[in-house]
Structure 1
């Protein structure tokens, strides 16, 4: 047996040499010699199968590939070759079995998943085809650059998944039409976000707090207005507030850059706005401290705000300011400090071309229409117009935190701010 193995080994080396030299006749002769000694040799059977495949003798190819794979069942390439011959034969059942053998060895075998996706699509097994193409796309995410031979294949994968997902979504939505008729808007908003996520149309964003993260609170992007019954009164005073703001602009009241990084801060997404009036602010309260000058200049605005239930936290809140965004300025996507607060926007000056995104929902500001959102969910803003945009911004308590919890948080903040052991001493985190 040892002598036979050594002889087969020498013949395999000779096969490799003949193949390298392009001597096909010698390669075939040597493979025949190996098979005469060892009929189940996987290398020789695989080589004979490849030759049959090239000659389009798919039956002979499948026969040799099967012998090769059964002789070396842990080599996925042999099962892949058998699957190819079976595909050429039109043997879908055989191809499926061979691909299953590949996945039993390596669930992440890229070409196996690709051929499986093609098989399911070819057989009209739509749901399985979508799942298989999604697996291909997931596995291909690490390909950089994408090999030229795969460019069209992956483009087809994207198109097929998108088309079938859209058809699936339309089918479900048509079937849901009557069930939606009497559902309250707030419930519909959550349900629609659920469906959009299920169909890959939107991502569900979660809180990312750089400061205090209060657990078990709903992560709403935009809060329902019912939580803030005073919004209507605030909106009714829009013109009053806007008039006082415009007076500030008319008298060239100094604004200050909203972004001011410490010296030596590495370049980052905020660098373009650092110490820039492209995004500026004029504070009426800042971390709970009233700006006496602002109160004197904007008395009616202050009166409106003092009627609103605010989060009175010494050294932390409220913060109230006019936010001014110059033309063609973008505030990059970011998250806030703590979900214990809610941010209110009252738009005052909004030219065309302005927008605001929180998580997966984008809204246009409309003058006099306030909204509340969770700023610990990724959000961004832009002004693509040729005019400035102005919004009154302030913070209040998160409506899902009870009065008792608010009292506990205020006590905690007071103790934390007073302690010399507090390494953060964060400000603006409520």
Structure 2
């Protein structure tokens, strides 16, 4: 018999397919290996090799070859019908294999003491990552990066224990908000044009009243005529470690998202701070995503998050959603580092660097 490594590709392809169809997985492996010797990137051969491995019970290795076949197939703009059918089947096989892998993993972990509802939330996130249920997101500040900070989407509550005091004040804050909501003219689009910056439409949100705000503090300065109307709100924030950078932060505001409106995915400007939300008018169906985790706003239930990780919001309800937003220092930023960050921005201003406003 001649060495199959030097056979005709079309003959080898037919041989491999025939062997696969009659469940001769050893023969299919031999022919597929011969095809891959001729062209290691041949997507048809990669699928056949995966099929042979799966037929022999080696599903983990099969997944690797299905994945390689799909990667090669994506580089072909218009695959011929026979290849398209093979790739579609490979995609289904890979999805089935991923489900089997995940179920086996979760079953085995539960046998070893893992409890999804009560075990470590960080471990649960790692499990979602390894099984492909979750993407990994990183801090991507648009202006200033402070290195060495944890990559955390929603801040653990035990590190922001003062947030409970803000939640306790939610009924009093809501009363002050109701008086503000009674004057719709007080709200202005959150994304406004700035004369000293190039015009950036920001996915249709520029000057869009669908996302509007009333500021109690803006860019590090009090808005007296609004703050004076909200003494309970300001009193509730007295214990919060507000991120104070002259000319930049904090910002404290009531943020309204109209029914049906969406805020597109975006990143914040600096990562030494957290953004905090206290939902005050939160109809069911209004949601917020940070990185790989999505939550529904619930009235009186606050959270803190890293806005330099990709985030977005949408209001799928039939009513406007309104929340209190403010920014605080991350717990890892020391008092010395806070002073140095303030000095950095003061120096930028003094040298005419004109750093962008931080917003929230």
Instruction: Say yes or no: TM over 0.5.
Output: yes
Contact 1:327 1:383 in 2 (8 A): yes
Give, in angstroms, the shift of residue 269 of structure 1.
5.2
Aligned residues: 358
Matched, 1:419 2:348: no
SS of 2:246's partner is: coil
Matched, 1:288 2:220: yes
- Computing the radius of gyration from Cα coordinates, the structure with the larger value is 1
Partners in 2 of 1:367 and 1:172 — Cα distance?
37
Between 94-103 and 205-214, report the one with greater CA deviation: 94-103
What is residue 30 of structure 1 aligned with on the other side? none
Partners in 1 of 2:259 and 2:30 — Cα distance?
62
Matched, 1:246 2:181: no
What is residue 19 of structure 1 aligned with on the other side? none
What is residue 125 of structure 1 aligned with on the other side? 58
Deviation track 1:77-106 (CA, whole Å, cap 9, x = no partner) reads 675466457657876435424433443454
SS of 1:313's partner is: coil
SS of 2:113's partner is: helix
Task: Name the one with the larger helix percent.
Answer: 1
Equivalent position to 1:299, from 211, 214, 231: 231
Give, in angstroms, the shift of residue 254 of structure 1.
1.6
Matched, 1:230 2:162: yes
Partners in 1 of 2:261 and 2:282 — Cα distance?
13
Deviation track 1:242-291 (CA, whole Å, cap 9, x = no partner) reads 111110111334211012246897886522x2212110011111111110
1:329-340 to 2 correspondences below 5 Å = 329-340=261-272
SS of 2:312's partner is: strand
Contact 1:212 1:429 in 2 (8 A): no
Equivalent position to 2:48, from 115, 135, 141: 115
Tell me: CA distance 1:105–1:395, structure 2 relative to 1, closer, same or farther (3 Å): farther
Partners in 1 of 2:95 and 2:20 — Cα distance?
26
Where relative contact order (Cα < 8 A, 6+ residues apart) is larger, the structure is: 2
The TM-score with structure 1 as length reference comes to 0.76
Matched, 1:408 2:340: yes
Partners in 2 of 1:88 and 1:242 — Cα distance?
68
SS of 1:103's partner is: helix
Equivalent position to 1:213, from 131, 138, 145: 145
Tell me: CA distance 1:140–1:411, structure 2 relative to 1, closer, same or farther (3 Å): same
Give, in angstroms, the shift of residue 241 of structure 1.
0.8
What is residue 397 of structure 1 aligned with on the other side? 329
Structure 1 unaligned regions, length at least 5: 1-62
Contact 2:5 2:38 in 1 (8 A): no
Partners in 2 of 1:199 and 1:310 — Cα distance?
38
Tell me: CA distance 1:150–1:407, structure 2 relative to 1, closer, same or farther (3 Å): same
The TM-score with structure 2 as length reference comes to 0.89
1:23-102 to 2 correspondences below 5 Å = 66=2, 70=6, 80=13, 83=16, 92-102=25-35
Between 112-121 and 153-162, report the one with greater CA deviation: 153-162
Give, in angstroms, the shift of residue 146 of structure 1.
4.7
Give, in angstroms, the shift of residue 107 of structure 1.
2.9
SS of 2:288's partner is: strand
Structure 2 unaligned regions, length at least 5: none
Tell me: CA distance 1:270–1:116, structure 2 relative to 1, closer, same or farther (3 Å): same
What is residue 248 of structure 2 aligned with on the other side? 316
Tell me: CA distance 1:414–1:162, structure 2 relative to 1, closer, same or farther (3 Å): same
Tell me: CA distance 1:228–1:385, structure 2 relative to 1, closer, same or farther (3 Å): same
Give, in angstroms, the shift of residue 109 of structure 1.
1.9
RMSD, aligned CA: 2.8
Matched, 1:348 2:280: yes
Contact 2:213 2:253 in 1 (8 A): yes
Deviation track 1:135-184 (CA, whole Å, cap 9, x = no partner) reads 22222223334543344433332322222222222222222224335997
